[in-house]
Each structure stands twice: as structure tokens, then as C-alpha cells.
């Protein structure tokens, strides 16, 4: 693939006519085996025909994605979801009825029509019905499911608007559709229905507690080990690599009481204050002490919606160190904590301090 020859077309969707034109253009490219960037309510996805192995291979090449990391398949109704799975248990119906369309991915035994590349050679497939109207419209016009990981280079920060996609992939894909800012802001919850009881593989904004209310019980969320830290063995879900969602800058999660306490802790790190950016929610440091200080509301949904955009902004501003105020240790913040700990995975664990 010759990336240098491409220059992504950017299509808006803010009127009915523009929306319809963008759907038609995106569907035509997808039917032709191309890869395009589309909006979803979680993050922007890099989409291809999930039933076309050659098209899916382009996703891996464009992202630099590890071959053992599977891709979620996106559908626009439960009938299409059932075509992607060899088995559709009653619990899948209950979950789909409650949470779809929305940010929940169900891991099921794969159907024969799903290529090996989508599942990274594994015997299961993750399936999701997104709630974003544009993604639904494109899948409906295409008539086939879409394989769509986040539209960014592998392991880097996921994009939550079209500008993020263009920054990294403008010369690698023919089309980016601007569907506005992603309203969830982090990736979907992934629930493995092949385990007994079902087990959350990746936390998201649909909480384990909400799932238990529907299905009765969930198996324990398992810590990373073995294949999930980067071996060649296929994973059962994306989002399980130890280092993921990472900015270019070093990222730290810290708890501080005041400016003095924060500066004392940062004195242990080799980074100048004029290259240090702070993302806070409760204890707001003086803006004059650092290159940048951002405040995200002390609300899990608002924080998730804004987080990746803030990390992108810090990188664009040339941050050397990004310090994020440690999160509350409650269920509502579990998915955000998961993303931040993976983003900070290159940081020594001794430097990551939980909220007391």
C-alpha cells in the first residue's frame, strides 16, 4: 500500500443532505474494499468490510496493529449480529435488548463467515451495535458488518473527533467522515459470553454492576498476564495489551493535596515545569506553575468524554510529562482508570499512586 499517494477526503454530516452524501460515499468505498474512518459514540473507528479479509488486512497495515490483536465487528441490528456468531445464547438477547445500540461488545463463538484476520486466529468474535446514527446508516446501506478498531496508530491515543484522525491518518486512508465529537469518549465494555459465568474483558462505561443486574453474575475481571501482555497468542478482545491508549508524553497518575505537595512529588521526575501539563478534577494547581492546567469535571461520564481530547491536546502542545489527578476508586471510574493505567504503563509502578 502506498500511503504517500493518498490525501483523505473530509466529509461533514451536519445537514440531512450532507449526511446522506457521506453515507453514500463511505458505503461505496467500503464495498470497493477500502478502509475509511467513521464516527461512533465511543471513539472514531477505522472501518472495513468485516467479511473481506483483504480489506481487514489493510486496517492492520494502516494502524501497525499487532497480528494477535482482534478487531470488533460492528452491526446495525441483532439479525446481523447473529450472522456473525456461531452460537447466540439467550443471555445475548437479554443484553442486546437492554444495552444495544450502545457501548457494549459481546464476545461469542465466531461464525464461519468471519475471517481469521478479524479474530486474530481465535475462535471467538466481538460484536457490537453502535448507537451513532452515521455508523448505523453506513452499515445499513452496505448490508455487511464492519470491522472497526479505533482510527489511530496502534497503542496511541484513540481519536474522539475527525481532527484527531486526520492528524495521524490523513495520508493513509481515502475518507474521514466528521460526525462530531464522540459522546462516550472511551472504548466499549467487552463481555465474554463464552465464559461461565460471563466475564468482563475490558471495562467501559456500561459497568459490571449494570451487566449483573441483567445477567445475574459476572466472573472476576482478570489481571493481565501471558498473551495479554504481548505474546504472539491471539487475544479474546482488543484493549488487553498492557501498554495502550498512550500519549507521546510520559503520563503519571498522582494524588496531591495542594501545589506544594504536587511540586514536591514532581521534583522526583526529570521534567521541567514548562513542559509539564496537568489534568485535574478536584485539586486544581496554579496555572502559572505549569505549561498547562486542564480541569475536567469530577464526574465519570464527563471525564471519559473529555479525556482523550485532553491527552491529544497535551501532545500537540509539546508536553514532555502529563500528570493526571488520581481517580476515585469507585465502580463508576473503573473504565477510565483502566485506560489511564495502560496509558501510563511505561511509567514505573512505584510512581503511580492511588487515591488514599
CATH topology (fold) of 250-351: Rossmann fold (3.40.50)
The SS3 of residue 62 is helix
- At 96 the pLDDT is 98
Q: Locate the domains of the chain by residue range.
A: 3-229, 250-351
Give mean pLDDT, residues 310-317: 96
The total number of residues shown for the chain amounts to 356
- At 229 the pLDDT is 44
Q: How confident is the model over 161-209, as pLDDT tens digits? A: 999 999 999 999 999 999 999 999 999 999 999 999 999 999 999 999 9
Q: What is the mean pLDDT of the chain?
A: 91
Q: For residues 234 and 14, which has the higher predicted lDDT (pLDDT)? A: 14
CATH topology (fold) of 3-229: DHBP synthase (3.90.870)
Q: How many CB atoms lie within 10 A of CB 79?
A: 8
Distance in angstroms (rounded) separating the CA atoms of residues 283 and 129: 38
Q: How confident is the model over 60-81, as pLDDT tens digits? A: 999 999 999 999 999 999 999 9
Query: Where is average pLDDT lowest: 126-135, 230-239, 250-259, 271-280?
Result: 230-239
Give mean pLDDT, residues 294-298: 95
Q: How confident is the model over 146-157, as pLDDT tens digits? A: 999 999 999 899
Question: In the structure, what pLDDT confidence band is assigned to residue 240 with cuts at 50, 70 and 90?
Answer: confident
The share of the chain scoring above pLDDT 70, in percent, equals: 91
Residue bearing cell 464516527: 39
**What distances in angstroms separate CA 103 from CA 9, 86, 122, 213, one per listed residue?**
27, 22, 22, 17
Amino acid at each position: 500500500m502506498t500511503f504517500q499517494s493518498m490525501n483523505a477526503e473530509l466529509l461533514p454530516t451536519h445537514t440531512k443532505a450532507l449526511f446522506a452524501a457521506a453515507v453514500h460515499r463511505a458505503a461505496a468505498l467500503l464495498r470497493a474494499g477500502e478502509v475509511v474512518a467513521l464516527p461512533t459514540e465511543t471513539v472514531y473507528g477505522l472501518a472495513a468490510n468485516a467479511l473481506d479479509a483483504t480489506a481487514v488486512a489493510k486496517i492492520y497495515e494502516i494502524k501497525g496493529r499487532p497480528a494477535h490483536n482482534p478487531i470488533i465487528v460492528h452491526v446495525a441490528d441483532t439479525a446481523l449480529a447473529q450472522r456473525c456468531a456461531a452460537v447466540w445464547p439467550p443471555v445475548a438477547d437479554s443484553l442486546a435488548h437492554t444495552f444495544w445500540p450502545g457501548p457494549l461488545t459481546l464476545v461469542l463463538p465466531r461464525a464461519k463467515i468471519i475471517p481469521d484476520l478479524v479474530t486474530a486466529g481465535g475462535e471467538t468474535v466481538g460484536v457490537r451495535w453502535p448507537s451513532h446514527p452515521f455508523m448505523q446508516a453506513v452499515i445499513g446501506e452496505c448490508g455487511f458488518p464492519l470491522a472497526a478498531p479505533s482510527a489511530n496508530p496502534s497503542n496511541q491515543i484513540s481519536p474522539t473527533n475527525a481532527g484527531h484522525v486526520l492528524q495521524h491518518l490523513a495520508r493513509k486512508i481515502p475518507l474521514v467522515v466528521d460526525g462530531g465529537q464522540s459522546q462516550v469518549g472511551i472504548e466499549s465494555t467487552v463481555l465474554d459470553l463464552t465464559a461461565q459465568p460471563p466475564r468482563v474483558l475490558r471495562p467501559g462505561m456500561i459497568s459490571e454492576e449494570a451487566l449483573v443486574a441483567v445477567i445475574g453474575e459476572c466472573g472476576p475481571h482478570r489481571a493481565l498476564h501471558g498473551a495479554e501482555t504481548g505474546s504472539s497468542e491471539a487475544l479474546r478482545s482488543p484493549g488487553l495489551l498492557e501498554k495502550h491508549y498512550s500519549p507521546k508524553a510520559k503520563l503519571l497518575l498522582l494524588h496531591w493535596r495542594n501545589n506544594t505537595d504536587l511540586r514536591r512529588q514532581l521534583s522526583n521526575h526529570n521534567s521541567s515545569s514548562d513542559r509539564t501539563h496537568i489534568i485535574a478534577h478536584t485539586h486544581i494547581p496554579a496555572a502559572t506553575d505549569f505549561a498547562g492546567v486542564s480541569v475536567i469535571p469530577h464526574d465519570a461520564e464527563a471525564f471519559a468524554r473529555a479525556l482523550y481530547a485532553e491527552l491529544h491536546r497535551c501532545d500537540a502542545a509539546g508536553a514532555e510529562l502529563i500528570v493526571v489527578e488520581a481517580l476515585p476508586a469507585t465502580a463508576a471510574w473503573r473504565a477510565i482508570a483502566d485506560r489511564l493505567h495502560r496509558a501510563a504503563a511505561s511509567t514505573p509502578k512505584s510512581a503511580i499512586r492511588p487515591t488514599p
